[in-house]
Structure 1
Amino acid sequence: MRIDRRGAMALGVAGLAAAGTAAAETRAGGRPPDPSETVRLWPNGAPGGERVTVTPVVTERSTSPDFHDRFAAHTRDPLMMVYRPERPNGAAMLLIPGGGYKWAVIDKEGTEIALPLSRAGITCFVLRYRLPADGWAAGPDAPLQDAQRALRLIRARAADYGVDAKRIGVLGASAGGHLAASLATDFARKVYTPADRADQVSARPDFTVLLYPVISMAEPNVHAGSRTELLGTSPSAEQIAAYSPERQVRAETPPAFLVHAYDDNAVPVENSLIYAEALRAAKVPVESHLFEEGGHGFGIRLAAGKPAAEWPAMFLSWARRRGHLGAAR
């Protein structure tokens, strides 16, 4: 199936409804079910958990029968929820929700984005990752361990998932955008001991999508809450530099598609601007869409009726133009 610009726009608009608020889905039974297929990342448990004592919890914030709004805190057994499309086009995406590194919002920036993207033919994997302040030996690298491992598992099992190992992207939102950008810039950094043969493949995403991302750990544009959870209350200058992805961009950093709103009062739009400029300086392809309205954390469902609602269609058009999407089969 050939997806032209008009088709991409239609898919983007349809994606808003597919995220869990469409009237048709509501009449069919309200909240869409979670996929039955999940993948646990680590065969013998997540590394460095000897001193971890937190209790995992998933909290439902939604009071509506039409959609979930859950967040996961203190994850100890990181996993991916798999959304397989009816008509796969060979592309895959690892979706990393935000939550300020204090928790991960499962639905707003995970499942609600996976649904429309899977309908566009993309096999999606929603990541539930560990948090840096929960006592893991790797500290601030614990989330990156999970992101690297997840990308490697998708690539190592590409044939099983029916995806092209050279068309695997990552999408991150807010603090999840920081983790996605860290994966894009630090994919080759050794942050864990290989667990099995899957760790022999590259963790480099082929493309990156960042929604209102946390990027810089430095003033004046830092999201203070994310930095505190990641690096503590008094990080050193060296830590700030090492965990600011814009400072780690290299020529091999994958192309990026950036989405942000100027009226974002939580994560300043400058975070996207400085990452885009770092990519441009390294001659890495980048496309940015900065909207007048949207606020923070809009995902798809909360973008309805705002200029930022156009981002899914814009992304699909960009991804197809760059060859990240293929013909459905």
Structure 2
Amino acid sequence: MNAQIQTTFLCVLFSMVLSAQDTIMPLWPKAIPNQMETSEKEVIEHTDDGIVWITNVQKPTLEVYLPAQRNANGKAVVIFPGGGYYGLAYDWEGTDIAKALNAKGVAGIVVKYRLPGSKSITKNKNVVPLQDAQRAIRLVKSKAAEWNLDSDKIGIMGFSAGGHLASTLGTHYNDQVYNRQDDADDLSARPDFMILIYPVITLGVSSTHTGSRVSLVGENPTEDAVVYLSNEKHVTEATPPTFLLHAMDDDAVPVENTTLFFDALRKHNVPTTMHVYPEGRHGFALALHDDKLKNWTNLLFDWLETLD
């Protein structure tokens, strides 16, 4: 290989590496709403079982995983990892999910969203995750042509507290919770579909996940604050079609969260599919090592095909 060819090859290779790494983009092009500069630092660590765990999110981002163009079917899923609104199980319920979607031709976009407990958040802590969620889906829609997506096939997916955030977006997409920053904010924040995996839905005491409730609205919230973010109370005929999955023996987020939401969706004639497994507990994600649960992703992909 002569010097000129070698140089060209290295430049192309370097460009490809940069492109592969350039998958993370900031949510907010200007000032981040409801946030001030503090000495607080974002923390990325590994739990005892090896999960990437992020707390004190300071700069919310999108991490974009696109399938090969020949495999792409035009669908995209914006993913909200869980973590009780205290942290984010970022790979377990985020990037690994995006890669699994890619294998079926679906784009997966993981949102690193802000958490209400951060000291840098100045006010309206209960709507800060919704601000990031609305901005995330609008930003993805604005990139539809660039990323080879169908603009009417962009949905959302959330796990546990991330499921609460997804269902909040799916029921509060018209709420104005931040000021316009650019042309992306002129787009609708309504998802085309929702995928809710062992989701927190209600903040009502009897069925809620206590940690998520306290993180989001505090120890002694007003009734209005609880009702606003009890998403079964805000379903309408315009709520997006929804896929629900839960385990009956979930002792962290009671299965009643899913059944409450299913009943509300059915009442308003929203197309809905619900799968409830007798066992599985909480936080199983892809469940690849559970013979009884690992088929759930095939059920999901079958459902996604029905949306065409």
Q: Confirm whether residue 59 of structure 1 aligns to residue 41 of structure 2.
A: no
- Counterpart code for 2:191: P
1:47 to 33, 48, 71: 33
Structure 1's 52 and 256: CA in aligned 2 closer, same or farther, altered over 3 A? farther
Q: Distance in 2 between matches of 1:74 and 1:169?
A: 26
Q: Confirm whether residue 308 of structure 1 aligns to residue 293 of structure 2.
A: yes
**How big is each residue's C-alpha offset from its partner over 1:85-140, in whole Å with a ceiling of 9 and x where there is no partner?**
01211000101000000011101100111111111001110110001121422311
Identity of aligned residues (%): 38
Q: Distance in 1 between matches of 2:21 and 2:149?
A: 18
2:94 is matched with 110
**How big is each residue's C-alpha offset from its partner over 1:133-183, in whole Å with a ceiling of 9 and x where there is no partner?**
214223111111000000000001110111011000100000000000000
Q: CA deviation at 1:52?
A: 5.0
Q: Distance in 2 between matches of 1:281 and 1:315?
A: 23
Higher radius of gyration, 1 or 2: 2
SS in 1 for 2:109: strand
Structure 1's 272 and 116: CA in aligned 2 closer, same or farther, altered over 3 A? same
Q: Distance in 1 between matches of 2:77 and 2:264?
A: 23
**How big is each residue's C-alpha offset from its partner over 1:175-217, in whole Å with a ceiling of 9 and x where there is no partner?**
0000000000001100000111100001110000000000110
Structure 1 segments of 4+ aligned residues over 6 angstroms from their partners: none
- Counterpart code for 1:283: N
- The Cα RMSD (Å) is 1.4
- Counterpart code for 1:178: H
2:214 to 228, 245, 269: 228
Q: Distance in 1 between matches of 2:37 and 2:208?
A: 29
Contact 1:46–1:76, Cα closer than 8 Å, also in 2: no
Aligned residues: 285
TM-score (norm 2): 0.90
SS in 2 for 1:158: coil
- Counterpart code for 2:113: Y
Q: Confirm whether residue 252 of structure 1 aligns to residue 238 of structure 2.
A: yes
| Stretch moving more, 143-152 or 35-44 | 35-44
1:88 is matched with 72
* Structure 1 runs not aligned, ≥5 long: 1-33, 324-329
Q: Distance in 1 between matches of 2:233 and 2:225?
A: 12
**How big is each residue's C-alpha offset from its partner over 1:249-306, in whole Å with a ceiling of 9 and x where there is no partner?**
1111101000000111100000000001001111111100000111100001x45224
Q: Confirm whether residue 320 of structure 1 aligns to residue 305 of structure 2.
A: yes
Structure 1's 215 and 40: CA in aligned 2 closer, same or farther, altered over 3 A? same
TM-score (norm 1): 0.84
Matches within 5 A, 1:206-225: 206-225=192-211
Q: CA deviation at 1:238?
A: 1.1
Q: Distance in 1 between matches of 2:150 and 2:38?
A: 37
